[in-house]
Amino acid sequence: MSESYQNYVNGSWTDASTGETFETNDPAAPNEAIASYQQSDVEDANAAVEAAAAASEEWAETPAPQRGAVLRETAQNLAARKEELTELLTREEGKTHAEAGGEVQRTIDIFYYYAEKTRDLGGKVKSSSGERTNLYTKNQPVGVAALITPWNYPIAIPAWKIAPALATGNTLVLNPASVAPGVAIAIFEALDDAGLPDGVANIVTGPGSSVGDAMITHEDVDAVSFTGSGEVGHMVYDAATDDGKRVQTELGGKNPTVVSNSADVEEAADIVAAGRFGVTGQACTACSRAIVHTDVYDEFVDAIVERAEAIEVGPGDEYDMGPQVSESELEGTLDYIEIAKEEGATLATGGNRLEGDRYGEGYFVEPTVFTDVENDFRIAQEEVFGPVLSVIEVEDFEDALETANDIQYGLSASIVTDDHTEAERFVDEIEAGVAKINDKTTGLELHVPFGGFKQSSSETWREQGDAGIDFYTIEKTIYDTF
């Protein structure tokens, strides 16, 4: 029998007011139920927000190092369950065991990081023009935060929203994606075991169209943090800002890796393959476009095709690349493969759903490479959330940079080159929030800002590191004259 989970509201594990539940399934074996969750609605969301609002003042007044102690113990609790959570993430979302384990470890590290940051929270002392005036600033929590997170990093993304919010004295409500909410609930189990006061952090599962909407429009919510699709993100942004709420959104990407004629082609192929086919291509920072200098284009195509064909696909506990998370995601990827063919791109390898033997009814697709792609093709302009790479040929560095920037997104980008001048120009001129040299587009350090340009984010507040603290605090200036 599958596990059954409840909402966590005001320090108690509770059923949804609807009395209804929904199930998650293993994307490698869709007929296998993993767990059941509460099918919550507006009433449940409102109760969670009200609990967070009631707990807000007391948590804000709790000394920051005491808040840090709760986060530190939460990290310890998660670490004690690392293997269990890794297996749950693999079964519910489809990542390989190594990928899932890395994500769980990142979550642990995030809670440890913000636990230590609580020791340094405060303001700044400034010199005053008056002789008897002490002039300084202090940072105060925003209040109640509504957090809405996606399925592709179902424990790390909630963690990098929850930990800074709690560290800075905010209370919160989380609505995780319904595809894989189990590991997010584990965070709240760890917080509860760490002695977090009632109402400070709450989680309500169920559809974002009702639960999420009720959260972001509730009058007691002061800040909204959303990660997900551009279409939904723009609606979230409009709804939150109409009410004067502080808001940050991260909305996806169409990330390029430029391969220079000075690059080591074998190294470039390794970098692009890791950035495109890792986590089954289901990352907002995944490399979607390889923009390759004509002098090394043919050699690169041969190398990247070789890398793609060497990947062993199957259930995540045994193979190099797991399934897509759901049937709809798989169908979306297969649709884009057909669109690319119709547009005139050349299918160099892959392009098929994998069936039979070890694949069963799972949502598996071959690592896919298209060549002869023009940058105005839909396959090169629209986000494909699967293991599909477009290879675009360019004449020189100027052409490569222009092609890389000729897109509505601007999240992550990289260049593979041995030319220092190219590298320096690339990081200066690329229109992306993350720029890398001789590295894959995926992979983020937790102590530096993360966010995009253009349609990849609201371009308001960054996440992670000190930027995460900035989003959840308001600075007040104090004139103290006696």
Q: Nearest Cα to 93, choosing from 315, 336, 273?
A: 315
List the catalytic residue out of 284, 330, 384, 389.
284
Q: Where are the alpha helices (DSSP H) in 344-419?
A: 378-381, 397-405
Question: What span, in angstroms and rounded, lies between the C-alpha atoms of 331 and 349?
Answer: 18
Which residue type occupies 108? I
In contact, 443 and 232? CB cutoff 8 Å: no
| Rounded distance between C-alpha atoms, residue 382 and residue 244, angstroms | 31
CA 123/CA 138 separation, integer angstroms: 4
195-204 b/e (C-beta count within 10 Å ≥ 16 → b): ebeebbbbbb
Residue 255 and residue 412 in contact, taking contact as beta carbons nearer than 8 Å: yes
Pairing of strands 29-38, 21-26: antiparallel
Q: How far is CA 235 from the centre of its chain?
A: 18
Distance of CA 480 to the CA centre of its chain: 42
Start-to-end CA span in the chain (Å)? 69
Pairing type for strands 133-141 and 125-126 reads: antiparallel
DSSP E strand boundaries for 307-417: 346-349, 353-354, 364-365, 368-371, 388-394, 409-410, 412-416
H/E stretch holding 176: strand 171-176
Q: CB–CB of 129/233 below 8 Å?
A: no
Q: Is 287 a catalytic residue?
A: no
Strands 3-4 and 29-38 come out as parallel
Q: What is the DSSP string of 73-103?
A: HHHHHHHHTHHHHHHHHHHHH---HHHHHHH
- Write out the H or E segment, with its range, that includes residue 61: helix 42-61
Residues marked as catalytic: 284
